[in-house]
Amino acid sequence: MTANNQLVTAIIQARMQSTRLPQKSLLPLAGKPLLAHVIERAKAISTVNTVVLAIPDDSENDSLVTIAQQSHVAVFRGSMHNVLERFYMAYRRCGGSYIVRITADNPFTDAAYASIVIDTAIKLNADLCAAKNLPLGTGVEVIKAQALERAYTQSTQPHHFEHVTPYIKENPDTFAIHYFDVPLYNPFSKLRLTVDTQEDYTLAKHLYDALYTGTVFSLEDVIKYLEKNPALVSINATVQQKSMTSHE
């Protein structure tokens, strides 16, 4: 339990059919699949009660079930392309007053900052909460269960279903949305720590080979290492992030 005895569920959304870097969840980082590290980091968030992997129900994604089982987390299987439905149904299966949204292409999700966002969301009774000054790929979104249900029942546009939170973000007058800055020293304003492309994976592999020793390392550890090796930041500096209004 966290503040005010609220149950918090972390849902990791994953699929093998990535368009820019197919089967990236299986790519090795320091001897383990990328997805195993994402799960390890979700489990390291002290204020999370339950972690569930939400994946499509086709056979191509069966290998992700094995990783989840080895990591001792629950699995929910649902629609491939309607990610909002898959995410919502995973919540309905596993419960929770607040839901932490984690994507499987983020093996640098920071547990300490995620806990800060969760505690802030609960304290402020926010429908959607996130730290806005973290490098891409290191933060989470925290969604109140009732807001997720409204997004599921009221969304209408294709991009609402390809992602999870666009409907909430597009309606700030009817949802309590809270973005805030966390204390963070980061001299790399454009630092990109997600894995969408081969360039992203190359950087991630460098960092994991250098920093992973069997336990989760922090964002501060990454920044300290990059200060000593600043050329690494340029590896994926030109990658363009997809818009949240895009859909497949």
What per-residue string of b and e applies to 169-199 under the rule 16 or more CB within 10 Å gives b?
A: bbeeeebebbeeebeeeeebeebbbbbbbeb
pLDDT-based confidence at residue 78 (cuts at 50, 70, 90): very high
Contact between 130 and 60 (Cβ < 8 Å): no
**pLDDT bucket at 20, cuts 50 / 70 / 90:** confident
* Distance from C-alpha of 113 to C-alpha of 119, rounded to nearest angstrom: 10
pTM recorded for the entire structure: 0.94
* Mean pLDDT across 75-82: 95
168/142 Cα distance (integer angstroms):
12
Mean pLDDT of the 96-123 span: 98
- For the segment 224-232, the average pLDDT, to the nearest whole number, is 98
Q: What is the pLDDT of residue 17?
A: 81
pLDDT confidence bin for 19, thresholds 50/70/90: confident
pLDDT higher than threshold 60 for residue 246: no
Question: Contact 187/227 with Cβ under 8 angstroms?
Answer: yes
Are 186 and 176 contacting, i.e. CB atoms less than 8 angstroms apart? no
Rounded CA gap, 176 and 199, in Å? 36
d(CA 47, CA 42): 10
Antiparallel, parallel or unpaired: β 141-144 and 128-131: antiparallel
Helix ranges, the chain (H): 34-43, 62-70, 83-94, 111-124, 145-154, 158-162, 166-169, 198-211, 219-228
Query: Could you tell me which CATH class the domain 3-185 is placed in?
Result: alpha beta
- Residues 147-190 have pLDDT tens digits of 999 999 999 999 999 989 999 999 999 999 999 999 999 999 99
Amino acid at 161: F
Each residue's pLDDT tens digit, 164-175? 999 999 999 999
Question: Quick one: pLDDT at residue 244?
Answer: 52
Cα–Cα distance for residue pair 190/184, rounded to 1 Å: 14
Q: For the chain, what are the domain ranges?
A: 3-185
The β-bridge relationship of strands 141-144 and 177-180 is unpaired
Q: Can you give the pLDDT at residue 241?
A: 77
